[in-house]
Amino acid sequence: MTVARPGARLLRNVPLSFVARKLGGGQRPVTTSLSLTSMIDFLVVSVVFLLLTFQAPSECGCIGLDPRLPHASNVMEMIDAPMISVAGTRILVDGSAAGNTLAVDESKRVQRVDEVFDALVARRETWKQLHPNKPFPGNVVLRIDQDVSSAVVKSLFQTAARAGYPSVSFMVEHQRS
């Protein structure tokens, strides 16, 4: 046996064909390349899918309600206040369920909505604890569908006033003239 120069020759002189295929054998490289085009296509499709799937909540934070608001030409900017939303028979206070309009619709009379009253009183007490030296502003916004009965609107207005919110505003859509 002759003395050979030192170097990498492990498995090079083995006469087995499956070993030669595993080593590359000169037919194709052991490393494979990933096509950049297919990877970019996959990422674009994933991003488009995620954008279409996820929806941002509306500006006021009222998820799940899309009432048809009345139109008005004289409007003011939105204020930071608790919001009572009504669409159909559901009532929400700042996005949390606070009863429904079925009892008021059935009686066709103005009455206090207890769940809304309790939610507004709790928010007023929380505000007073967070701002002990400031007077309570007493603002509330009604976001009510234009097809809701007047008895429901009057009941919510009266409930807000009795809960300590004397300044009641209505959310409307700005009608440009």
Residue 62: predicted pLDDT: 47
N-to-C CA span, the chain:
103
Query: What three-state secondary structure class fits 136?
Result: coil
Q: Is the dihedral of CA 152, 153, 158, 161 positive or negative?
A: positive
pLDDT score, position 53: 82
Question: According to the model, what pLDDT value does residue 176 have?
Answer: 75
Reference 120, options 91, 77, 89, 90; nearest CA is 91
Q: What pLDDT does 12 receive?
A: 61
Q: Which of 74, 83, 70, 73 is nearest to 148 (CA)?
A: 70
* The residue to which tokens 């030409």 are assigned: 73
Distance CA 50, CA 23 (A): 42
Amino acid at site 97: A
**Cα separation, 114 vs 57, whole angstroms:** 27
Residues of the chain with pLDDT under 70: 1, 7-16, 18-34, 55-67, 71, 177
- pLDDT at position 26: 53
Q: What's this model's pTM, rounded to 2 decimal places?
A: 0.59
Going by their DSSP bridges, the two strands 167-170 and 173-174 should be labelled as unpaired
pLDDT at 63: 46
pLDDT for position 77: 79
What Å distances lie between residue 146 and 102, 163, 171, CA to CA?
17, 24, 11
Q: 25 by DSSP, 3-state: which? A: coil
